[in-house]
Structure 1
Amino acid sequence: MDFWSRLIGGAQTPKKPPPNTLANDPQARLIRFKNVFNKVLELCNRPLNISRQPKQLGQLRSLLDRVVVLLREETRAPVPHTCLQYAASSQIYTVVGRAATVGQNEAVTHAAIGIFAALIDSEEEDFLANASFARSLMRLITRVIDSGNVLVGVDTETAILEVLFTVAAKIRLQPEILSVWFRSTAKPELEDVFVKENRSFVGITQKDDFPLCYLLIDRVHHEGRIGDFARTGLLYIFEATGRSSDLEEWVVSSDLPTLMASGLGALYSQLSRELSILHPDATLPAVLAMSDYSTTHHRATAESAFSEKHRGHMATFLSYLAFWQDVLDHCRSADVKQTLLDHFQILFLQQLLYPSLLQSSDTDAGSSVAVLTYLTAMLESLEYPVLIQMMLNYLLAIKEDHLAIPVAASVPRTPVRPTMPPRSPTALKRRQSLLLMTMPKDPADAVEPNMFNLVDLVLNSVGSKNDQTAYAALRLLSTTMARQKRFAFGTFLKVQRSSSNAPPRTVGALEVELEQYMELATLINGESAADGAFSSLTDDLRYTIEAQVPFTVPTQDNRTVDSIGAGAYSLSADDPLLHSLAARLRTFFTNSVDVNLALTQAIVSVATCVELRLDTWVALVPSTYGFAEDAFGPQRSWQAYLEDEEKDAWTALQQASRRPIWSEEHAPILYTTLQALNRELEGVRATVPQIGQLLAGRQNMLQAASLDAPPSEPPSLMSSPTQASMLDVPKSSQGHSLIPSTSSLGHGRDKATNIAAGLPSPLSRSLAPSPTLSRPSDINTDNSPSARSIFQPPPPETPSTTDVLMRIMTFPAAEQSANHVTGDARLDQRSASLNHVLTNIVILQEFALELVAVLQVRAAVLGEKEVRYS
């Protein structure tokens, strides 16, 4: 029995020993790590054999990858971390960095960078505070990606920039380690020598002082993760200038500000000098297809704003401009910030941007179009107040000590220098040397914006015969009014302070104005077309106007502080821009459709500015009100029982509610212009009897085109041709309306919002690219089945729809009042196809309805600041 027991027991499988505890044994981990690293040392100490070099480099790469894995495992293992302690004491990074530098192999370099990243991420042994570690890392990275001897791929360069970003982030969190990575040897007094010798740069280059900073700034313009790591890392460096006086002094005297400004200038110079904003045939919006719009540019050298090349260059430039804003926002040193602003103004604005504006022309294939389009994109992108004020002050020739006209207190103001610490001698000397370097040899060659500035360019371009130039100028005007209107006062618009004794507009006059404009809109395209076009307009305009009214803050005595100057300024009657807009409006039917859309948007952007009064140009002037003798109506019996205060209130209410007599002699400028257009339209109606049916068909086609367009593809014409417009405003979510309604009206649009944002509206919808462009021959205004049948041709005596739409409509030369238009009061004879005129008629009616909405919304939102109710 014992024998069988021993035999059976011997046949049983012995129990397995407990699982290996290598991961929890610090000494076992250290032994394994030393074995791998000793193999690295052995391989690095072998003599270099060219025939066996690829094999050796492959083995080295595998061993370094194994070291990375062991270091990552060590970080996750329980303490003590003996491998990290050994790595710090034996300085394995020096061996790794030297091996990767000598090997000049991308795979080995990538693995070596992985070791440095693993050591930094361990956050032990304080590697970032070790000067030897910093020298090894910077030597490796500098010789790899700065020398050009090693061609590295995107993945390797991304890994390198990620390590540099990590170091910059650690410096931000631990300012005490800055001295390890930065050592100032700059001598600001040497800059005087550089200036005297007329060197080609401004500032002292000291890459050895702070190689990390130069490695980052060389790659801030890159796309993807490389650029993201470089830009964010450099932001942290500039933020550290507020905590280190040595770094602050070094940055001011270095060439970093020059590199940033010249980089911005280089990206701007990449943009084409000749730009065409004509839509290509493949993406032509339906509203333009239903007109005489031409997609052919007269000069082939002009680059299309819709090309992939231009979009890429524009996106890169605007991205770098946004980086400038981030740097100024994160910089904590007043001297560094002011030095950057000096370089932005002198090297970019004065040396590059203004000369491009000065040299622009309306006759050389679109250089004016290019400059105006680029300025619009910059204004849509800029958010930093100091940059905006510096750019517009210079280009508009506004004196630095004051703004053109201050407006609402809610507008952010640029801090003046006296509130900041005094500038250091180095910063002052840097600015002086910068001005000296950029000064022309002959003072007579200096050109300043006082002679020709952005105002002159816009005024000349609005009246240009080139439709693209006019469109670009109108877009810039709309963008300035919507985003930076305080700079438009006194420059684009000649405004004057409203007198406190000036009589206010009354609610009775408002009712008359609404009726006149509404009647005009009905005459243009009929009452049925106006239905469904007004309610949406009022909602959008209310949002725009309410956004300009700041919240009122209650004081201790429960009173509110009024911080808005609604109606504080009035537009001068001889304003050149107003007359240019009116002259352009006078030729509405023969204007290009895109120009008309930009024109009406510009006019509405000025009309919705709450600081401007509407007298003279949109509304009646209160001093010209005339009333009928029985304007007060009969006396009521109950009025005899009113007290004195009640009688005064009732009298004031009656006076405010009196409806003045509409006099053509004192009619507003816009109304007079629209009335002249309506008279021209009467001539078209007499020539084309079926114009009512054609207009109805055109309205339906514009609405149908919006339904066919892809919803994810925003309209490109009314937004910037280079990027998505920043004027996109969401519609109001409120379901009720505070606007008093005078008639049964429907819905419409606000071109400043709907066209840019693609909100549902007849015109804005039609701006989306239509997948199948409608030809004039496709238009059929008869809805009967027999008329739609292809088997039933039209009567022989009836001309085809195509022939009717292609008919040329000629508009005779028109006389204009000398009070409303400057210059030549005689307009040349104009002509356009009926197909083109129909689309412009639809736009014109909606513009008239928009003016009605502006009058109503301003009165509802601003209340007594706009019109007197009692």
Structure 2
Amino acid sequence: MDFFSRLIGGGNKPSSASNNPKQRLARFQQIYDRLLHTVQKSQALHNDPQALESIRVSFQRLTTILHDESRSPAPHLSLSFAASAQIYITIARIASACYNESVIREAVAFFGALIDSEEEEFLAAERFAQSLMGFVDRISSGGGGGIFVGEDTEVEVVELLFGITAKIRLQPEILPVWFRQRNVISESEFLEKDRERRRQGFAGVTQKEDFPLCYQLIDHVHHGGRIGDFARTGLLYVFESASKSDELEQWLVESDIPTLMATGLGALYSQLSRKLSIVHPKEDMPIVLVLSDYAEGPPAGDAESLFSPNLKTHMDTFLSYLTFWQDVLEHCKSIDVRQTLLDHFQVLFLQQLLYPSLLESSDADGGSSVAVLMYLRRILEALDHPELIHMMLQYLLAMPEGMNGLPQESSASPRLVRRRRSLMLLASNPKDDEQLNPSLFSLVDLILSSLRSNNQQTVTAAFRLVSIILSKNHTYGIGSLVKVSFSSNKEIHRTHGSLNAEMDAYLDLAKTIGDTGLDEAYESHLKDALKLLESHTCSAQILKLDELGFAPKQADSSLICLREPTTHHLSPDDSMFRYTLEVLETFLTNNVEVNLGLTETVITLASCGHLLLEGWLSVEPSKYVYHDTDSNLESSIQSLSQSMTATNGALPTEADHITALELARRRPNWYRRNTPSLLAALHAIHAELSSVRAAVPDFDVLLTARRQAFSLYDAISEAIANAPPPVPPKDFAQASPPRSQAGTPAPKDGKRSIADRIFAEYERSISGSGSPSKPIPGVGKTLNLAQRMLADYERSIGGDASVGSRDSPRPPRTPRSNSKSKVPPSGSPGSSTPQQQQGLGSYGLLGSRSPATPQARSRAQSPRPGESMNAAVRDPRALLNDVVREADAEILKRRFQFGSKDNQKVADGEKQFATGAEAGPDADTEGAKSEEKKTDKALREASLSHILTNAVILQEFELELVALMQVRASMFGEVRFA
């Protein structure tokens, strides 16, 4: 702006003193001389307030002149004087002697002005580098000067160092000024010094005087906020410059910088709590947990809550440092430096810290297993670098070493071999000859033991970890965590008719829970399943178009994976899936979070295109049984086969095509003993659910109300989150507003409150175009939740009380919920979120919700007519509490027991099933023997409210399975249509 003002001659002209180079130089020298006079006159600067203030003002004026001169045309006499007189040395000494943070901050600004001036090449001057780094070392927390500055000043110091590294990155020729390897030692001297330093607990030769800038960044790299961001980015530039300097590359390999980075990562991991408890805070508990038997209360023992702010802070800092590791490995072009970092990561962090924490975890001490499982999940979520992922999972899962893509000692440089041997000597402990390793107890063993734990928090954490391994790192989970048998046979045996029969088997189970709104919910699940399968890591190989030249480019991770993904079957003796089925059998009484983690795991497992569904999710094609009425089709098979044989493989006729289509459309049956294990477990759950339904006459009504509670709660929460603060209506209690044709209150001044808009939408959905909606089967004359709240609203404003009356119940027909909705729509099983591609199985119901206070849930009496609605108009958040209170009625506290012989007798009546048709002749005998073993299970109990919530989740899970089977069949070509 000053340039344009001078050009056009308008505006405020700068003063002649600031525009004249000579006058500006004279003023600069005058301020500098006054500064020196103040310092010489004072006996003790740190105890003289007037002198300190004078020095601070002098620093500030010198900095202002430098900034003005940088923006002015040449010549820059003040900058030339500062370079020739080397006044930066004097400035650094005076600031260090003052022991005053204000003075130090102005001195940092002075050095920043010199660097930003880009004149006289200050960064290329060795005296300038020595003076600046000496000053920074004295005022830093790790320096010996004993000067401690605040966070704001420290940010400016680290930002100044970051600016220097940015200039080095753009101008590699100035690197020797800031880095100089003064002492080049031989291999024998290196090993001798390294043996001495191993006693102090680290490897590598410390030569801080060679590159003090790098060590300053290392000291601040673990901080959070802007300090850590500047330090990590600056250090990233240093590693990037290693490929341009052989001396720097050698120095990074042999120094203790990799050791400090690895130990720093371990230190941040050690700050995390050793024990965790997954206890949601009462003031922000998800609605799906509120309407269940969730154990509220503080964490047990000394375990820290997963949602505590302290843990979140430490976790964010640790993950940011882990991300920094990935960035360094990504941008570092030096193979030796990158491999040195990987070696230190494996030895100092993975083997000596992360694995021992896994080994020492226990489910009996109240949360250490939960902590390790949750930390590993967060680590795997954050990791994207293929080398780090491979190193971690191969070691923790005890996978055999093979194609690791890492340089062997024969191909590595001599300095890398020397450094690696030194590191191995550090890691070796002669006292621990029988030290445990993953071959004796691996992450697989921890997960399997956690899935069988009696602590449901441990089971939840295990399922979450399994889901992230199978979804993001599927290649490593198959064969280690999940036992499979590989097959090269790609012949398709399943037919279109068998797919329809299997889908109907699961869909029939979902319909028994409730058949209202299934079409809309299923359509949403189809879209989610399509996105889930398209984004899976194994789908790219299956869907590649080699014939058209569109084969996908191989990712870097494929170079280090143990094997390319191929077709495989789930082994019958797989422990992980067997334990999953055991948890599934107690679905109705499980913790809600356990069920959500379980369903997510199963959906993630079924989303792999290479994993065949036969045997565990679908029926083995060899086990299909067809009706006797299809004997004519059996004869057609023989005639078609004879026709093909007679023509010696010639093209079939049109009649042969029709016969083949009819044969593929046959719907098979199967004996009960051949029922897929997952389907059999679901039948057992529905048998228990049937016993509850028989004991509760209004079970269907309560289940519909539970779905509506989820939908209404989500709609109100979304309205509160997205709408502006409502304006309280004036004189609401004095007069009733006029009624519109749709039964909603007429808006005042064109504005309506949130509560008005929400309930006007419900009113329109009930009234429609004048014809009442069809009643929900089983509802009878009992009002659902939305009708009761709407009736209160009508009475509160003096409207027609007949709307929603008990004589003419008309349940609301809500439109399809938004794609961001986390709960099922009213009157329907639900709609999963596209972003959460597993729907309810991916913790869709555990989104953040507005608070539902315990006081609101514990109200024993219903409010007077209009009381809740008047409060809702004043504050829409009161609606959320009303939803919870209405959905937590006294009848829902009734408890049911499972596992006893009485309930088993009820379940025995449901054993005569053979999905797809009637049972075969030996279904009863085979099924009875397998069910006799289940009568001795421990007694389980849960409230009716808890069972209703799990029933909604169960229906969502079954719809997800059906949608996934259908999309897989069409996308991967898993069935024959002829």
TM over 0.5: yes
Deviation (angstroms), 1:333 = 1.1
Check the 8 A contact 2:516/2:828 in 1, yes or no.
no
After the TM superposition, which residues 320-359 of structure 1 pair with which residues of structure 2 at under 5 Å, given as runs? Answer: 320-359=321-360
2:958 alignment partner in structure 1: 848
2:102 alignment partner in structure 1: 107
Check the 8 A contact 1:709/1:770 in 2, yes or no.
no
Partner AA of 2:135 in structure 1: L
Deviation (angstroms), 1:746 = 8.0
Question: Is residue 526 from structure 1 mapped to residue 514 from structure 2 by the alignment?
Answer: yes
1:810 alignment partner in structure 2: 898
SS in 2 for 1:272: coil
1:464 alignment partner in structure 2: 453
SS in 2 for 1:831: strand
Q: Distance in 1 between matches of 2:549 and 2:119?
A: 60
2:165 to 168, 179, 201: 168
- Cα gap change, 1:826/1:186 in structure 2, threshold over 3 Å: closer, same or farther? farther
SS in 2 for 1:378: helix
Partner AA of 1:541 in structure 2: A
Deviation (angstroms), 1:366 = 0.8
Q: Percent identity?
A: 42
Check the 8 A contact 1:272/1:370 in 2, yes or no.
yes
SS in 2 for 1:417: coil
SS in 2 for 1:809: strand
1:717 alignment partner in structure 2: none
Check the 8 A contact 1:543/1:732 in 2, yes or no.
no
After the TM superposition, which residues 194-205 of structure 1 pair with which residues of structure 2 at under 5 Å, given as runs? Answer: 194-197=193-196, 198-200=198-200, 201-205=202-206
Q: Distance in 2 between matches of 1:303 and 1:241?
A: 42
Question: Is residue 392 from structure 1 mapped to residue 393 from structure 2 by the alignment?
Answer: yes
1:510 to 478, 484, 499: 499
Deviation (angstroms), 1:600 = 0.9
Deviation (angstroms), 1:416 = 3.9
Deviation (angstroms), 1:835 = 2.0
SS in 1 for 2:220: coil
Between 832-841 and 801-810, the greater mean CA deviation after superposition:
801-810
2:489 to 488, 500, 513: 500
Q: Distance in 2 between matches of 1:321 and 1:429?
A: 26
2:577 alignment partner in structure 1: 578
**Could you list the per-position Cα deviations for residues 41-74 of structure 1 after superposition, in whole angstroms to 9, with x for gaps in the alignment?**
3333446256973222221111111110000000
1:13 alignment partner in structure 2: none
Deviation (angstroms), 1:821 = 11
SS in 2 for 1:325: helix
Check the 8 A contact 1:264/1:320 in 2, yes or no.
yes
Check the 8 A contact 1:601/1:751 in 2, yes or no.
no
Check the 8 A contact 1:754/1:764 in 2, yes or no.
no
Deviation (angstroms), 1:502 = 5.2
After the TM superposition, which residues 561-710 of structure 1 pair with which residues of structure 2 at under 5 Å, given as runs? Answer: 561=551, 568-631=567-630, 644=652, 646-709=654-717
Q: Which runs of 5+ in 1 are unaligned?
A: 1-17, 403-413, 715-730, 735-743, 789-799
2:938 alignment partner in structure 1: 828
- Cα gap change, 1:51/1:348 in structure 2, threshold over 3 Å: closer, same or farther? closer
SS in 1 for 2:938: coil
- Cα gap change, 1:562/1:498 in structure 2, threshold over 3 Å: closer, same or farther? farther
Deviation (angstroms), 1:508 = 1.2
**Could you list the per-position Cα deviations for residues 6-62 of structure 1 after superposition, in whole angstroms to 9, with x for gaps in the alignment?**
xxxxxxxxxxxx996444432222222222222223333446256973222221111
Deviation (angstroms), 1:507 = 1.2
- Cα gap change, 1:674/1:148 in structure 2, threshold over 3 Å: closer, same or farther? farther
2:80 to 81, 85, 96: 85
After the TM superposition, which residues 47-126 of structure 1 pair with which residues of structure 2 at under 5 Å, given as runs? Answer: 48-49=43-44, 53-126=48-121
Q: Distance in 2 between matches of 1:376 and 1:210?
A: 37
Check the 8 A contact 1:758/1:765 in 2, yes or no.
no
Q: Distance in 1 between matches of 2:310 and 2:942?
A: 35
SS in 1 for 2:898: strand
Between 601-610 and 805-814, the greater mean CA deviation after superposition:
805-814
Deviation (angstroms), 1:196 = 3.7
Partner AA of 1:199 in structure 2: R
**Could you list the per-position Cα deviations for residues 569-617 of structure 1 after superposition, in whole angstroms to 9, with x for gaps in the alignment?**
1111221111111111011111111111111111111111222111111
Check the 8 A contact 1:509/1:660 in 2, yes or no.
yes
Check the 8 A contact 1:669/1:820 in 2, yes or no.
no
2:155 to 142, 154, 158: 158
SS in 2 for 1:203: coil
Question: Is residue 294 from structure 1 mapped to residue 295 from structure 2 by the alignment?
Answer: yes
**Could you list the per-position Cα deviations for residues 99-143 of structure 1 after superposition, in whole angstroms to 9, with x for gaps in the alignment?**
212222222222221121111101111110100111110111111
Check the 8 A contact 1:566/1:612 in 2, yes or no.
no
Deviation (angstroms), 1:312 = 1.0
Q: Distance in 2 between matches of 1:320 and 1:356?
A: 19
Question: Is residue 550 from structure 1 mapped to residue 540 from structure 2 by the alignment?
Answer: yes
Q: Distance in 2 between matches of 1:464 and 1:713?
A: 39
**Could you list the per-position Cα deviations for residues 468-493 of structure 1 after superposition, in whole angstroms to 9, with x for gaps in the alignment?**
00000001011111211111100111
**Could you list the per-position Cα deviations for residues 324-359 of structure 1 after superposition, in whole angstroms to 9, with x for gaps in the alignment?**
111111212111111111111111111011011111
Check the 8 A contact 1:369/1:468 in 2, yes or no.
yes
Check the 8 A contact 1:505/1:622 in 2, yes or no.
yes
Check the 8 A contact 1:777/1:802 in 2, yes or no.
no
Partner AA of 1:27 in structure 2: K
Q: Distance in 2 between matches of 1:261 and 1:279?
A: 33
Q: Distance in 2 between matches of 1:127 and 1:489?
A: 58
- Cα gap change, 1:358/1:235 in structure 2, threshold over 3 Å: closer, same or farther? same
Question: Is residue 367 from structure 1 mapped to residue 368 from structure 2 by the alignment?
Answer: yes
Question: Is residue 437 from structure 1 mapped to residue 545 from structure 2 by the alignment?
Answer: no
Partner AA of 1:34 in structure 2: Q
SS in 1 for 2:690: helix
Check the 8 A contact 2:336/2:416 in 1, yes or no.
yes
Q: Distance in 2 between matches of 1:696 and 1:809?
A: 23
- Cα gap change, 1:767/1:61 in structure 2, threshold over 3 Å: closer, same or farther? closer
The alignment's TM-score, normalised by the length of structure 2, stands at: 0.75
Matched length: 791
1:35 alignment partner in structure 2: 30
Q: Distance in 2 between matches of 1:365 and 1:702?
A: 32
Partner AA of 2:269 in structure 1: Y
Check the 8 A contact 2:896/2:941 in 1, yes or no.
yes
- Cα gap change, 1:600/1:752 in structure 2, threshold over 3 Å: closer, same or farther? farther
Q: Distance in 2 between matches of 1:428 and 1:19?
A: 64
Check the 8 A contact 1:235/1:327 in 2, yes or no.
yes
Q: Distance in 1 between matches of 2:602 and 2:540?
A: 23
1:236 alignment partner in structure 2: 237
Check the 8 A contact 1:755/1:764 in 2, yes or no.
no
2:444 alignment partner in structure 1: 455
Deviation (angstroms), 1:315 = 1.0
Q: Distance in 1 between matches of 2:14 and 2:255?
A: 61
Deviation (angstroms), 1:623 = 1.8
Deviation (angstroms), 1:818 = 11
Partner AA of 2:607 in structure 1: T
**Could you list the per-position Cα deviations for residues 263-309 of structure 1 after superposition, in whole angstroms to 9, with x for gaps in the alignment?**
11111111111110111222222211212110235732111111111
- Cα gap change, 1:771/1:831 in structure 2, threshold over 3 Å: closer, same or farther? closer
- Cα gap change, 1:122/1:700 in structure 2, threshold over 3 Å: closer, same or farther? same
Deviation (angstroms), 1:240 = 0.8
Q: Distance in 2 between matches of 1:582 and 1:244?
A: 58
Check the 8 A contact 1:582/1:673 in 2, yes or no.
yes
Q: Which runs of 5+ in 2 are unaligned?
A: 1-12, 555-563, 644-649, 723-816, 821-826, 870-887, 909-925
Q: Distance in 2 between matches of 1:851 and 1:776?
A: 37
Check the 8 A contact 1:536/1:746 in 2, yes or no.
no
Q: Distance in 2 between matches of 1:818 and 1:132?
A: 90
Between 29-38 and 60-69, the greater mean CA deviation after superposition:
29-38
**Could you list the per-position Cα deviations for residues 364-394 of structure 1 after superposition, in whole angstroms to 9, with x for gaps in the alignment?**
0110000000001111111111111111111
Check the 8 A contact 2:588/2:947 in 1, yes or no.
yes
Between 45-54 and 540-549, the greater mean CA deviation after superposition:
45-54
The alignment's TM-score, normalised by the length of structure 1, stands at: 0.84
2:733 alignment partner in structure 1: none
Q: Distance in 1 between matches of 2:569 and 2:234?
A: 49
SS in 1 for 2:569: strand
Deviation (angstroms), 1:559 = 5.5
- Cα gap change, 1:462/1:688 in structure 2, threshold over 3 Å: closer, same or farther? same
Check the 8 A contact 2:286/2:845 in 1, yes or no.
no
Check the 8 A contact 1:779/1:801 in 2, yes or no.
no
Partner AA of 1:705 in structure 2: Y
Q: Distance in 1 between matches of 2:384 and 2:896?
A: 47
Q: Distance in 1 between matches of 2:501 and 2:358?
A: 45
